[in-house]
Amino acid sequence: MSTQTYKTKLGGKDLIIQSGQLAGLASGAVTAQLGETVILATVVVSKEIREGIDFFPLLVDYEERLYAAGKISGSRFIKREGRPSEQAILTCRLIDRPIRPLFPKGFRNDVQVIITTLSYDGENDPDILGIIAASTALMLTNAPFEGPVAATRIGLVDDKFIVNPTRSELKNSKLDLVVAGTSGKVMMLESGANEVSEKKMFEAIKLAHKEMQPAIKLQQEIAKKVERMSVESAEEKIYEDIKKHLGKKVAEAVREIDKETKNKLFAEFEENILKNFEGDYKQIELKSALNKLIEKEFRKAILEEDFRPDGRKLDEIRPIDIQVGLLPRTHGSAVFTRGQTQSLTIATLGGPGEEQTIETLEEEGTKRYMHHYNFPPFSTGEVKPIRSAGRREIGHGALAERALVPVIPSQEEFPYTIRLVSEILASNGSSSMAATCGSTLALMDAGVPIKKPVAGISVGLVTAEDGKTFKLLTDIQGLEDFCGDMDFKVTGTSDGITAIQLDTKLKGLSFEVIEQSLEKAKIARLTIIDKIKKVIPVPRKELSPHAPRIMVVKISPEKIGEIIGPGGKTIHKIIDDCGGKEVTSIDIDEDGTVSIGSTNPEMSDKAVQIVKSLTKEIKSGEIYTGEVKEIKRDRTTGKEIGAIVQLTPKVDGMVHISQIADHRIEKVSEILHVGDRIPVLVVEVDRERGRVSLSYKAAKSSLLDKKEKPASR
């Protein structure tokens, strides 16, 4: 097996692709390298057609290997990689979306693409390489793949674009945009942004498409001698037979406004053709042909009559209903309903210790803001088993999370961990955008001081057979998504875009479609933001009474051990002394930031005072209020010589009998008793001997003169 090496430039760096060295039994296999990041892409194409399906059976997997970054799992019990991380699933979706539309509709052979990260340098992400390598490996097979496709990432620092920025550069970037495309069209967009304008975003998309062209040309050169298999389909004859049989009935049903009536008619059509063509064609072929007929009539109604399935204008948003504060015990809640799509979003606030710990190939650390998205089967009126979150749920949740990141207050401004959960209660298109709007509302209802409201909308597309004439649809619903060509989701504030996710069924989109879609989305987004502001103009001033109050105390990092105590004994005692469950958390950062969470303000204040007293440095001249813990006696004579007073939980001092009263007393117990709380003045601190000398009479005199209250311990 001879190794072939190919090189080109991607964002000013060497892109190296090798074939013929690894995975020789796969249908196609290459390695791709950028910097010191290396990934292996393999493709296997089944020789047989999978019978009984009406979809293309493409499976894309992204295998994250910790060894690529020289890591071993931090788990004590499990050292091998388990189920994919959320980041791995998002990368997998990123690779899948631009290559799936580039296969013929009638292709039914199984195709599996596996991307394995072999080496990761911490700067050049594997996702861009994964798209390029997957496309290259496909180009080396005989699959009818109509590529190649490539990808580029664009950053924006100091108002200047950076092509394929490193992870270090992305930390200061207002934009993280991934664009995938062919030589002439854009296939996929995925972006997070900090209120970037539509104009700037469009410039970035065009730049990315230009920069990926060398990688596309390189793939064309690599695969110039490969022959592709042909795809035969009897779909056209079946389609014509069904069209002739049903006549104009499908066209009339497509134009029926009432959804229930429409669906009933579609069900009757299916029953009719299955009965009348039984034995002539396979059931799966008949259903597929009927769907194609419905799709064509739908597209005709849009293109020729501007007629949408529910009677709306092309740029009209479905009716919106907004409610906040529905649930009595949650920290924040909201229901956002748009047409037949409904999202219930709940906000939960916690202490810093409840942050999510992240350990992936690309990063290690914590995350304090999270959004989770649930899509139960009843939301579409279906009966299905409920499983753990799938790729779709994780992808939609990540999009809604990314949309709000730019407006979430910093930890210094709002020292809480924030978790949002969107329960999709009904879905007829754009549920992820409903979740985004619901997130804004739930956060504001919870009193989280977000900088601005964020809203999202999806723009659809219907294209004529000539590929030039097209119509854009604002706020697409289910049938429009199913029959249309594009799902272009855009989120943002009134001042700019915060996230984008674009999928298309076409073999790419023109820049004209993209530019107009961004403008359509902006108009709709501003309309929704106005509706949000009418219901809840600003975040609530007060948190829910059931939410913990987080109070922050700064201590010297050297004092952290005194707060924790041996085996956490001291910190547990603080919680117990302050009501147990009422103080929900005490979290300490390495820089000495102590965050105290409590549902009881009085207990929270008490915990703060204890922490301060534990870490406070005792100085001469300061006055404290302390408890008399012991009457000190002379070991030889047994006479009372003073009182031991607790200044802080860790520091005691002694008031000599001569420092108790202005006159001579024979016994300390004439004036002081164990359990008394008294003001004392620190006379001297002997750090070498660990002794603190106190004066009761000086403290009383000073307080009387200054009319001050003593510092609380």
Q: Higher confidence at residue 713 or residue 603? A: 603
Residue-wise pLDDT tens digits, 130-167: 999 999 999 999 999 999 999 999 999 999 999 999 99
Give the pLDDT confidence score for residue 234 in this predicted structure: 66
Q: Other C-beta atoms within 10 Å of 612: how many?
A: 17
Nearest CA among 363, 362, 364, 365 for reference residue 37: 362
CATH architecture of residue range(s) 235-305: Orthogonal Bundle (1.10)
Domain coordinates in residue numbering, the chain? 4-222, 235-305, 321-354+364-535, 549-615, 623-706
Of 389, 418, 399, nearest in space to 330 by CA: 418
Q: What is the mean pLDDT of the chain?
A: 92
On the question of pLDDT at 709 being above 70, the answer is no
pLDDT at 1 over 80: no
Instruction: Sort strands 691-695 and 651-656 into parallel, antiparallel or unpaired.
Output: parallel
Q: Give the model's confidence band at 706: pLDDT under 50 very low, under 70 low, under 90 confident, else very high.
A: low
Instruction: Please give the structure tokens belonging to residue 608.
Output: 């703060």
Q: Classify 510 as helix, strand or coil.
A: coil
Which structure tokens are listed for 498?
């915060």
216-230 tens-digit pLDDT? 999 999 999 898 888
Residue 597 pairs in a beta bridge with 550, 585
Residue pLDDT, tens place only, 284-326: 888 888 998 999 999 999 999 999 988 999 999 999 999 999 9
Instruction: Could you please state the CATH topology (level 3) that the domain comprising 4-222 is classified under.
Output: Ribosomal Protein S5; domain 2 (3.30.230)
- Residue pair 188/504 in contact by the 8 Å Cβ criterion: yes
Report the pLDDT value the prediction gives residue 688, as an integer from 0 to 100.
78
Backbone angles phi, psi at 88, to 5 degrees: -65, -40
Distance of CA 632 to the CA centre of its chain: 62
Cβ contacts of 91 within 8 Å, gap of 6 or more: 62, 64, 115, 126, 127, 130
> What letters, b where the CB count within 10 A reaches 16 and e where it falls short, cover 515-526?
bebbebbbebbe
Read off the pLDDT of residues 415-457 as tens digits, 9 standing for 90 and up.
999 999 999 999 998 999 999 999 999 999 999 999 999 999 9
pLDDT tens profile 241-279: 888 998 889 989 988 888 789 889 999 998 999 888 888
In the chain, what is the straight-line distance between the N-terminal and C-terminal CA atoms, in Å? 78
Correct CATH for 549-615 of 3.30.1370.10, 3.90.1300.10, 3.40.640.10, 3.30.390.50: 3.30.1370.10
DSSP for residue 166:
-
Task: Copy the structure tokens of residue 258.
Answer: 């009432």
At 275, which helix (H) or strand (E)?
helix 259-276
Distance CA 522, CA 515 (A): 11
Euclidean distance between CA atoms 35 and 13, whole angstroms: 7
Could you report the per-residue pLDDT of 391-416, keeping only the tens digit for each?
A: 999 999 999 999 999 999 999 899 99
Per-residue pLDDT band for 704 (boundaries 50, 70, 90) equals: confident
For tokens 């799966």, what's the residue? 284
What percent of the chain is modeled with pLDDT above 90?
A: 67
Question: What gap in Å lies between CA 462 and CA 581, rounded to an integer?
Answer: 58
The average pLDDT across 24-28 equals 95
- Answer whether 317's CB lies under 8 Å from 338's CB: yes
C-alpha 438: how far from chain center = 15
Asked if residues 4 and 19 have their Cβ atoms less than 8 Å apart, the reply is yes
- Token output for 400: 């809604």
Look at residue 465 and tell me whether its pLDDT is greater than 50. Answer: yes
DSSP lists the bridge partners of residue 57 as none
Fold identical between 4-222 and 321-354+364-535? yes
When comparing pLDDT for 366 and 332, which is higher? 332
Distance separating alpha carbons of residues 243 and 471, to the nearest angstrom:
25
Looking at CATH, the fold of the domain delimited by 321-354+364-535 is given as: Ribosomal Protein S5; domain 2 (3.30.230)
Mean pLDDT, range 332-336, rounded to an integer: 98
Which residue did the predictor score with more confidence, 456 or 648? 456
User: 474 - beta bridge partners?
Assistant: 459
Query: Which residue type, as a one-letter code, is found at position 342?
Result: Q
Residue 625 token pair: 């209020």
Give me the DSSP letters along 567-583: GGHHHHHHHHHTTGGGE
DSSP string, 308-333: -TTS--TTPPPPEEEEE---SSSSEE
The residues, ordered by sequence, that sit 6+ positions from 486 with a Cβ below 8 Å of its Cβ are: 459, 460, 461, 502, 503, 504, 505, 506, 509, 513, 517
689: tokens are 């001997």
User: What are the DSSP calls for 77-133, one per residue?
Assistant: S--S--SPPHHHHHHHHHHHHHHGGGS-TT--EEEEEEEEEEE--SSS-HHHHHHHH
Cis peptide before 409 (omega within 30 of 0): no
Q: How many other CB atoms sit within 10 Å of the CB of residue 214?
A: 16
| Per-residue model confidence (pLDDT) at position 712 | 45
d(C-alpha 17, C-alpha 135), whole Å = 12
Cβ atoms within 10 A of the Cβ of 479, count? Answer: 21
Q: Where are the alpha helices (DSSP H) in 324-477?
A: 391-404, 431-446
pTM as predicted: 0.86
Question: Is-contact 486 459, C-beta < 8 A?
Answer: yes
Tokens of 225: 């001698």
Contacts by residues 567-571 (CB-CB < 8 Å, ≥ 24 positions apart): 570/614, 570/649
**One-letter-per-residue 3-state SS of 608-619:** HHHHHHHHCCCC
| Average pLDDT for 577-597 | 82
Q: What is the pLDDT of residue 713?
A: 41
Residue type, 394: I
Pairing mode of beta strands 549-554, 486-493: unpaired
- Helix (H) / strand (E) element for 481: namely helix 478-483
Q: Within 13 Å of residue 147, how many CA atoms lie on the same side as its CB? A: 35
Q: Which two tokens stand for residue 129?
A: 């390489």
| DSSP code for 352 | G
Tally the C-alpha atoms within 13 A of residue 226's C-alpha that lie toward its C-beta.
23
CATH code, 623-706: 2.40.50.140
Each residue's pLDDT tens digit, 47-82: 999 988 888 999 999 999 999 999 888 878 888 888
DSSP string, 649-694: TTEEEEEEGGGT-SS--S-GGGT--TT-EEEEEEEEEETTTTEEEE
Q: H or E segment at 503?
A: strand 496-504
